[in-house]
Amino acid sequence: MLDFNDTKTAFARKSDGEMRNALMLFRMMKRPGLVKAGKRACGAAARLHLPVGWIVKPTLYRQFVGGETLEECGPTVDGLERAGVKAALDYSAESEQTPVGIEAVFAETERSIEYAARNKNVAYAVFKPSTLTTDTLLAKASEHPETLTAAERTGFDAFAARFDALCALAHRHGVRILVDAEDVRFQDAVDRLTEEAMHRYNGGRAIVFATLQMYRCDRMPYLRRLYEDARQADYVAGVKFVRGAYMEEERARAAAMGYPDPICPTKEATDANFDEGVAFAVEHIDRMEIFMGSHNETSNYRLARLMDEKGLERNDRRIFFAQLHGMGDHISFNLAAAGYNVVKYVPYARVRDVLPYLIRRAEENTSMAGQTTRELDVLRAEMKRRREARRER
């Protein structure tokens, strides 16, 4: 029986030292003032070109990042595979929005796809569209495409070519690729390019996956439209479900610019929207493949139950559960032990390049008090179980 309270299974691959490191980090993340101070200190260090690796690498980096390079992620990937869990390697460096910076991210993403093609333990490649162009151009192309100048149109066409080249490379290698979601001012252009790529590359199976942030009120209508398009155009839609990552910014922007708030009014409404979307995809699994990224235990239990009710095998290749590396181990490893397909989302990059990602992880955990408390509860429960097991020996 699936049980997310089975901490022995959840933490079998972690040493006592790693457990203590995780406990320390999640305790810190429960203190918003400490996280804000750390963010300011890291920002100042970056501006002054001061080294921060000595404090970040053995703490936040060790918990949430697989390594500095694809090759350094090898031990993490192999360790996950021994527990029946696959990896999705995500180059998480924050792009310098210059031609050189954009080209560097594009080249590294190509490398990650080729690495996934060679490594059977890597189930998905990942890319973030906004790292392949500038925010200004992507926002204008998304919100007011008719106003693009000739030069901007040329720039957007170059971005679209990079976008398609990554999807085409994934298709040639048979590697599934996740297109990360963006905030609302970028998303329409990303949706258009993702749908075009699905038409080209998702014939008999899903290669290209759109990411739907289900805290947005419009994502259920979009999902239904995507299904109808897949049915009529005869392709398989790949859908990655997440709750969302830009709530505060999007609400503030909507208020400032006077348009309707795109976010569901409450967490309960977001949860309902998320679960409705996943249920819809399961119901239409003939035309959809699912990547469900969630640390919400109820949503994970719900998808497992839906699969049973529909008579789907637990290892049906069209459905994957996913959690972030360094979080939700009690969900990931218990799902894998029960026979479900599970992926850990493993970021990689040099310390200074991945620092903004790490700060966001800390801030998100601070804002999700219930999630952080749950992480602490299961870590403490496992440490207690280990102490009692030693006393009995």
For 262, the 3-state DSSP assignment is coil
> Is residue 102 in a domain?
yes
Q: Do 60 and 76 fall within a single domain?
A: no
Going by pLDDT thresholds of 50, 70 and 90, the confidence category of residue 43 is low
Read out DSSP for 189-227?
HHHHHHHHHHHHH-SSS--EEEEEETTBTTHHHHHHHHH
Residues 305, 198 share a domain: yes
Q: Which residue has the higher pLDDT, 393 or 345?
A: 345
- Residues 72, 54, single domain; the answer is no
| CA–CA dist 203, 234 (Å, integer) | 7
pLDDT band at 372 (very low <50, low <70, confident <90, very high): confident
Same domain, 250 and 170: yes
- 126 phi, psi to nearest 5 deg: -145, 145
Q: Is 370 exposed, middle or buried (0-12, 13-18, 19+ CB in 10 A)?
A: exposed
Q: Dump pLDDT digits (tens) for 100-159.
A: 999 999 999 999 999 999 999 999 999 999 999 999 999 999 999 999 999 999 999 999
CATH of residue 343: 3.20.20.220
Same domain, 296 and 307: yes
Residue 246 has pLDDT above 60, yes or no: yes
Share of the chain above pLDDT 90, in %: 74
In terms of domains, do 167 and 100 share one?
yes
Mean pLDDT value across residues 325-329:
94
- 324 pLDDT above the threshold of 60: yes
Residues 44 and 76 occupy one common structural domain: no
- Residues 315, 170 share a domain: yes
Asked whether residue 30 carries a pLDDT value surpassing 90, the answer given is no
Distances (CA, A) of 50 to 11, 59, 69: 35, 18, 22
Give backbone dihedrals phi and psi of 187, rounded to 5 degrees, phi first: -70, -35
Position 54 confidence tier, pLDDT thresholds 50, 70, 90: very low
* Total count of residues recorded for the chain: 393
> Mean of the per-residue pLDDT values for the chain?
90
User: For residue 28, is pLDDT > 90?
Assistant: no
Looking at the structure, tell me whether residues 243 and 341 fall in a common domain. yes
The CA-atom distances, in angstroms, between 6 and each of 81, 198, 241, 281, 382 are 19, 39, 25, 29, 9
pLDDT at 392: 87
| Contact residues for 197 (Cβ-Cβ < 8 A; gap 6+) | 163, 164, 167, 179, 208
The tally of domains found in the chain comes to 2
* Confidence at residue 256, expressed as pLDDT on a 0 to 100 scale: 82
Residues 104 and 243 grouped into a single domain: yes
16-25, 163-172, 223-232, 302-311: lowest mean pLDDT where? 16-25
- pLDDT tens per residue across span 179-203: 999 988 999 999 999 999 999 999 9
Whether 353 is covered by a domain: the verdict is no
Give the single-character DSSP code of 257: H
Highest mean pLDDT among 210-219, 347-356, 368-377: 210-219
Task: Establish if 344 belongs to a structural domain.
Answer: yes
Same domain, 293 and 219: yes
Pair 137, 159: CB distance under 8 Å: yes
Contact 206, 236 (CB under 8 A): yes
Mean pLDDT of 344-350: 94
Give the pLDDT of residue 79. Answer: 95
The Cα 75–Cα 150 span in angstroms is 48
Q: Which of 30-39, 160-169, 207-216, 276-285 has the lowest mean pLDDT?
A: 30-39
| C-alpha to C-alpha distances, 36 to 33, 58, 375, nearest whole angstrom | 5, 20, 21
Quick: pLDDT tens for 56-76.
677 778 888 999 999 999 999
Beta carbons within 10 angstroms of residue 224's beta carbon: 13
In a domain, 245, yes or no: yes
Q: 193 lies in a domain?
A: yes
Same domain, 153 and 277: yes
State mean pLDDT over 85-104: 90
Domain residues for the domain of 1 are: 1-65+361-393
Output the pLDDT for position 249: 78
Instruction: Return d(Cα 318, Cα 122) in angstroms, integer.
Output: 16
Mean pLDDT computed over 245-261: 80
When pLDDT is averaged across residues 267-295 and rounded to a whole number, the result is: 96
Per DSSP, 3 falls in state -
Q: pLDDT higher for 261 or 381?
A: 381
Integer-rounded Cα Rg, in Å, for the chain is: 21
Lowest-pLDDT range of 180-184, 207-211, 342-346, 354-358: 354-358
Judge whether 356 lies within some domain: no
Distance CA 249, CA 30 (A): 22
Confidence at residue 360, expressed as pLDDT on a 0 to 100 scale: 65
Give the pLDDT score at 260.
84
